[in-house]
Chain A
Amino acid sequence: MTDIWAGLASAFWLVVSLDADLVDITLRSLQVSLTALLIASLIALPFGTWLAIRRFRFRRATIAALNALMGLPPVVVGLIVYLLLSRSGPFGVLGLLFTPTAMIIAQVIIITPLIASITHQAMRELWAEYHDLLISLNTSNWQRIRTLIFDGRRALLTASLAGFGRAIGEVGAIMIVGGNIDQATRVLTTAIALETGKGDFALALGLGFVLIALALLVNFAIHVLSRTEREGRW
């Protein structure tokens, strides 16, 4: 119990004093995960919607694979990205290993299937509702995807938030490809793992509470934004 109180106190002081390291680590966490979220959403939202409206040969297999990939173990993703980006790997010349870019790549791979799968589920129902009208109006595939994404934006927000949740709390992959280098690739989760290993539970817990607060804050902010939109448009 004392550890938890010490952790709370430590978190409080870290936040109140705007500890330079803490701010640095937190901003990097946000930068990596939000960038990964943005890229993953740009891929997954149209792809999930496209899956909902297109009938093609391997559609069922694709959807099954996508659902299976939701449970992709981050450590394995980290390992594979590491091998691809390492000096001897195919993308070694880019020199990306142990940079935030590598961490973003790993996180995009982890959260894209999750966002695409939730998107597909939500868009399938909307498509069933709109199908006849959009066919009758002779819409192109791209127009259909845009219409569904626009009208289903609230469901897609949920999909993106689920992706963000997975990215911000993820440690296995970014530890491997980022290397947890101080001032360069250290983020909240890897810092927590490090401090726990060193036995500094108070600091680790403090960082943990900051991480939870951050996740809550982002979710809350996005929900507030979407609610104002609902009042304006609906």
Chain B
Amino acid sequence: MQMKANLKDVRVKRRGKTILGPITCDLDPAGITIVLGPNGAGKTTFLKVLHGVERLSGGDVSWNVSDEQARRAQAYVFQSPIMLRRTVRQNLAYPLQLIATPKPQIATRVASWAAKTGLTDALDVSAPRLSGGEKQKLALGRALIRDPKVVFLDEPCANLDGRSTREIEALLMKATADGTHIIMTTHNLGQAKRLADNVIFLLDGQIHDRGPAPAFFAKPRSPQAQAFLEGDIVE
């Protein structure tokens, strides 16, 4: 079933400062949605709000399924990957163990995702010892292993070299082709242009512009988005 989100007057305030909102919008994620914006625009907060792990100061986020189902059908990859202090195999198996998947099924899925992420040789390595790129691939594999409907990625390719970035992008394209919707933030305009089906442009905690990627990149509606795309510094 298609997952849709509805945001009503969502606000996030911390220490008296508004980080996000008020945002009112319908979100109908399809393919890859890229969230663009300068630092401090509220991109990470926006993702966390959608995922339901950020405390709201006001407003309401609802998915078209129950909260429980929504959380089960979502996964989140953090900017700096969080590795459980276990082997790669146990890291991949962890999300499946939480929902009491039968053991043989876990084993096959782990093997298949290890192959997809190129970590088959590293299955018995302790995850915290992996390189940065491998950690990010493991985090992505661990997020995708439950076949989520929606995956949130916060700067998945920050601090990665070209090759790791390409491998991660390939995984993302594959996941999209398999019907997973991806909502990700990035600073890399090139990556945004390569991947985006839809774009949301955030500035000062507000959605300044949004739309299908080709239209957005060709002719952004707001002057700030125009400036951002041209590489000007937007504050």
Contacts and interface: CB of A to CB of B under 8 A. Distances in A.
Contact of A130 (B75, B82, B87): B82
Contact of A136 (B53, B87, B126): B53
Contacts of B53: 132, 135-136
B216 interface: no
Contacts of A147: 84, 94
Interface string B82-93: 101111000000
B72 interface: yes
A151 B75 contact: no
Contacts of B51: 136
A139 B86 contact: no
Residues of A in contact with B, size category: 10 to 19
Nearest to A126: B85
A165 B37 CA distance: 57
A17 to B, nearest CB: 48
Contact of B75 (A129, A136, A143, A233): A136
A138 B126 contact: no
A60 B87 CA distance: 35
Contact of A138 (B72, B78, B82, B86): B72
Interface string B202-228: 000000000000000000000000000
A130 B76 contact: no
A130 B76 CA distance: 13
Contacts of A151: 84-86
A143 B98 contact: yes
Nearest to A153: B85
Contacts of A152: 85
B99 to A, nearest CB: 9
Interface residues of B, number: 16
Contacts of A132: 53, 76, 78, 82
Contacts of A133: 78, 82, 84
Nearest to A138: B71
Interface in B86-109: 86-87, 94-95, 98
Contacts of B87: 233-234
Contacts of B72: 138
A137 interface: yes
A136 B71 CA distance: 8
22 contacts: A126-B85, A130-B82, A130-B84, A132-B76, A132-B78, A132-B82, A133-B84, A136-B75, A136-B76, A136-B78, A137-B95, A137-B98, A138-B72, A139-B98, A143-B98, A147-B84, A147-B94, A151-B84, A152-B85, A233-B86, A233-B87, A234-B126
Interface of B: 51, 53, 71-72, 75-76, 78, 82, 84-87, 94-95, 98, 126
Given A132-B53, A143-B98, A234-B87, 20 more contacts: A126-B85, A132-B82, A133-B78, A133-B82, A133-B84, A136-B51, A136-B75, A136-B76, A137-B94, A137-B95, A137-B98, A138-B72, A139-B98, A147-B84, A147-B94, A151-B84, A152-B85, A233-B86, A233-B87, A234-B126
